[in-house]
Amino acid sequence: MARPMQVSRYWRHFREKYRLIGGKCENGHVHFPKRSICPVCGSRNVEEIELSGKGKVISWTIVRNPPSGFEYYKPFPLALIELEEGPVVLAQLTDVDPEEIDFGMEVEVVTKKIREFEEDGIILYGYKFRPPVR
Amino acid sequence: MRKAVIIGAGMTPVGEHWKLGLRDLAVEALLNAMDDAGIDRVDSLYVGNMVSGPFVEQENLGALIADWAGLGNIPAVKIEAACASGGAAVQEGVKAVLSGLEDVVAVVGVEKMTDAWPSDATRYLAYAADAEWELFHGASFVALNALIMRYYMKAYGYTEEDLALFAVNAHANGAKNPYAMFKRPIKVETVLKSPYVADPLKLFDASPVCDGAASVIITTPEKAEELGVPKEKWVEVAGMGRAIDTISLASREDLLTLKAAKVAAERAYKMAGVEAKDIDFFEVHDAFTVMAALSLEALGAAKKGEGAKLAKEGQIAIDADYPIQTMGGLKARGHPVGATGVYQTVEAVLQLRGEAPSQVPDAEIGLTQNIGGTGSNITVNVFRRV
Ligand SMILES: [Zn+2]
């Protein structure tokens, strides 16, 4: 794959990807990532909200044939997680035995390396989810 | 309002065409369709294609294909709506004819996928997902559909075996189609024994990476008469609908409702003046077995949660009440992504002309449903025998 010289492309989302910044409209609808127009009511009065990063698994899969760039990690679990504030987020699960993943499993956010490009390429970080560390 | 009829249909076999490139496939299908209609010129060309740029480093497909098909200085453009590009291109062609701006329109759907390395192909197909919030996390298209599949099975108590029935039905019909990629019947065990690609989704729950092109010629009944195309060849485009849903799965209001298909179908049924029960066969977008189930529900052939029940009860076979995938569907015919909607159209035309290799008895009205993304961009077309 061609080397992406696109630092800015990834950088512009670092707040969402490092801190789970979502949006909350004047009518209280919460969404992630933040949009300028509320997807529920269409309000343009949307404020930033930092999500707690706690949620539960609503569906999951084990990715065995990933897109190029993710070969190193295969197989890896990928899940839809419903956050306690309401929005659903797609992310990899980490620090978990694939056999133990189940519907409703509680998870919390953690910042991890998502992907590495060639030798002098950039390294991407972002959120993954894991069973809570108590 | 003007009416639109399809007067010519053509395709190439679906498969791994090592010796043919994108332009060869497209031109072959297009000329087959023009020969079928008995014409040698068209007013314009609409090309359905999804990802020719990454796959073969070629965009500007309108110019490429019209040029190499010898069509002269006509208007020609590519239409892209992910895997629904073909269905959308047919609709753009019909709209041009209905508007009165163009009288004879060619549509060709083409995709050349096997020139790419498999993991790159997986990446390019995921371009139909949300790049920043899905592909960024390593989501393949198969993985996103696997998330839906697991959720569907849990919600309604279906098993992997139940969903495998859709693949079995597709292969049974594809076995008779000379243009299909897989011309062999399979058993439920074949599906269950195939390796997991993204659990619980197995290799045989999914359509193959392949190459192919299909084409139709659209005009008005008046023009068809003037061109001397025999009436037995005409198939009316009776209804069309198209709608979008959230591009990313996580934003979906209900993971188990193909809302875009529902809205698109309502529009198409209304325009055609028909209901789901009037449809004699459904060519649904079974890129993954669970999508066939969800599609039947969204199109009104089954109640919510009962799409897979239709397969279990034997209702989807050629001679049953809701025949689907009459020539193999995406699963067995093959799914050259941007071409698929046009293949479905060609197959509907053959059924309604009574020329299909596994013919639905007395088919009068057929429906094609073409899904882009994980249900984010969907076209539904209704065709009627003239
Ligand atoms: Zn709102």
For B375-386, write each residue's pLDDT tens digit.
999 999 999 999
| pLDDT confidence of residue B191 | 98
N-terminal to C-terminal alpha carbon distance within chain B: 17
ipTM for the predicted complex comes to 0.96
The pLDDT tens digits of the residues spanning B278-317 come to 999 999 999 999 999 999 999 999 999 999 999 999 999 9
Beta-bridge mates of residue A112: A126
| Alpha-carbon gap, residue B13 to B1, rounded angstroms | 36
For residue A93, the 8-state DSSP code is B
Question: What is the C-alpha to C-alpha distance for residues B217 and B268, in angstroms, rounded to an integer?
Answer: 20
% chain B with pLDDT above 90: 100
Q: Lowest mean pLDDT: which of A7-11, B154-158, B178-182, B229-233? A: A7-11
Min Cα–Cα distance to chain A from B46, Å: 30
Beta-carbon contacts of A114 under 8 Å, excluding residues fewer than 6 positions away, are A92, A124, A125, A126, A128, B136, B137, B138
State both tokens at A92: 């990899």
**Structure confidence at residue A1 (pLDDT):** 46
Q: What is the pLDDT of residue B239?
A: 98
Q: What is the pLDDT of residue A122?
A: 85
The per-residue pLDDT for A132 is 95
What's the distance, CA B145 to chain centroid? 17
Q: What is the mean pLDDT of residues B209-236?
A: 98
Q: What is the mean pLDDT of residues A107-132?
A: 91
> Is the confidence at residue B355, as pLDDT, over 70?
yes
Instruction: List, for residues B39-96, the tens digit of each pLDDT value.
Output: 999 999 999 999 999 999 999 999 999 999 999 999 999 999 999 999 999 999 999 9
Amino acid B326 reads T
Contact at CB, A61 and B201, closer than 8 angstroms = yes
Cα dihedral value B125, B126, B127, B132, nearest 10: -170
**CB distance B314 to B307 below 8 Å:** no
pLDDT value of residue A4: 55
**Which pLDDT band, with edges at 50, 70 and 90, does B192 fall under?**
very high
pLDDT in tens, B99-129: 999 999 999 999 999 999 999 999 999 999 9
Provide the pLDDT confidence category of residue A99 given band limits of 50, 70 and 90: very high
Percent of chain A topping pLDDT 90: 80
Q: Per-residue pLDDT averaged across B24-44, rounded?
A: 98
**Other beta carbons within 10 Å of B159:** 12
Specify the pLDDT at position A3.
53
**Is the preceding omega at residue A75 within 30 degrees of 0, hence cis?**
yes
Spacing, Cα A33 to ligand 1 middle (Å): 14
Give residue ranges of B with CB < 8 Å to any A CB.
117-120, 122-123, 126, 132-140, 142-143, 146-148, 150-151, 154, 195-201, 246, 248-252, 255
Bond preceding residue B323 cis, omega within 30 of 0: no
Least Cα separation, residue A133 to chain B (angstroms): 22
State the pLDDT at residue A5.
59
pLDDT grade for A2, boundaries at 50, 70 and 90: very low
Degrees to nearest 5, angle at CA B353 with B350 and B357: 45
**B chain contacts of residue A78, beta-carbon cutoff 8 Å:** 137-139, 143, 147, 198
Known catalytic residues of B are 83, 335
Averaged confidence pLDDT in chain A: 93
**Which residues, in sequence order, are CB contacts of B250 under 8 Å at separation 6+?**
A32, A80, A87, A88, A89, A90, B133, B134
- Best of B125, B137, B209, B245 to disrupt the A interface (most A CBs within 10 Å) is B137
Report chain B's mean pLDDT, rounded to a whole number.
98
Of A59, A78, A88, the CB nearest to B138: A78
Q: In this model, does residue B16 exceed pLDDT 60?
A: yes
In Å, how far is A121's CA from the nearest CA of chain B? 16
Phi/psi of residue B378, each to 5°? -130, 135
